[in-house]
Amino acid sequence: MQGLVDIYDWYVNYMSSTESTGEIALTRVSCSIDRESSLPAIIFTRPGSLSTKSENTAKNDVSSLVIENRIKSWVRRLLVKLSICPFTKSVSRSGQGLSDVGVPVGRISYHHSRANGFNEVPKLLRDTWHSIAEMTLAGPGGSKGISSILLAAPAYDDHFRFWAGPIFAMLESNVSAVDVSHLIGIVCFHPKYATPDSRSWPGFGHMHSVPRLAKWVEQYAQTTITTEDDTIVEEAEEVLSEDEIAAGGAWQRRTPHAVINILRAEQLEAAEGKRVTGRLYARNILTLAGKEENHPE
């Protein structure tokens, strides 16, 4: 429960920051654990009022079909054509290439949350759990089986820090609270996604840190050249800079809208067993950086 209080305190501080100026006028609401209650409880005290501007309304007025088509276009361009996800071969189904480890091909289900920003986070969590329930009831395979869910929430497109921080911390707390982490994996995507720099733990569902990605690129990138006398020698120069590696990590997670990707934990585990993680990330970063000639073999 202290973790939830800490998240809320971060939220209030965020609302006072320059990034959120003009979105919400927030009178400080105190939040504390009730130490005298016989049951776990958190007390919220609001001395004033909470008012919200409607600047997110325009994004939420966009139809679900338009949102779905935008996300599908991203899946087609990045995951399918560039093979950023080796187990996604179309915009409608994923899990290809995993049948030998017991993973069936299933549908990619596209969802749209109309939760309207900071005051409607509970609606976003509700929509997330509705999506998880649908996937669970549908099962993993067959014509109606669901392999993956992409839940778009356009009202959060301009607020990466809030999305990547408190939102995903809340999702992690939710998944842990109902003890389904062995069933569900949740991954963070956002139009302004930034690769973690390793100075702090990025949290639930995030890209590997820049130093780790850099290590993989250095380890797996092909840096050999052939001289005029056909002698193969190691090329000493750096393949990519740290900034380029950070960008390559970020662009793997930059969707047209803020997106929660919901996956089956057993499928994630099976996929990990079918790939060499470092090699895949190195290959993806080199692809996005236009360095295909350095792809790992």
Is the pLDDT at 26 greater than 50? The verdict is: no
Average per-residue pLDDT for the chain: 83
Of 112, 125, 104, whose CA–CA distance to 72 is shortest?
112
Report how far Cα 100 is from the mean position of its chain's Cα atoms: 27
**What confidence tier does 24 reach under pLDDT thresholds 50, 70, 90?**
very low
Instruction: Tell me the whole-structure pTM to 2 decimals.
Output: 0.78
Q: How confident is the model at residue 27 (pLDDT cuts 50, 70, 90)?
A: very low
pLDDT tens sequence across 30-78: 778 878 777 677 777 766 544 444 445 556 677 899 999 999 999 999 9
pLDDT of residue 236: 39
Most confidently modeled range among 51-60, 146-155, 196-205: 146-155
> 269 by DSSP, 3-state: which?
helix
Residue holding tokens 């793997």? 252
What's the rounded mean pLDDT across residues 144-167? 94
pLDDT for res 297: 53
- The dihedral through the CA atoms of 223, 207, 269, 103 has a sign that is negative
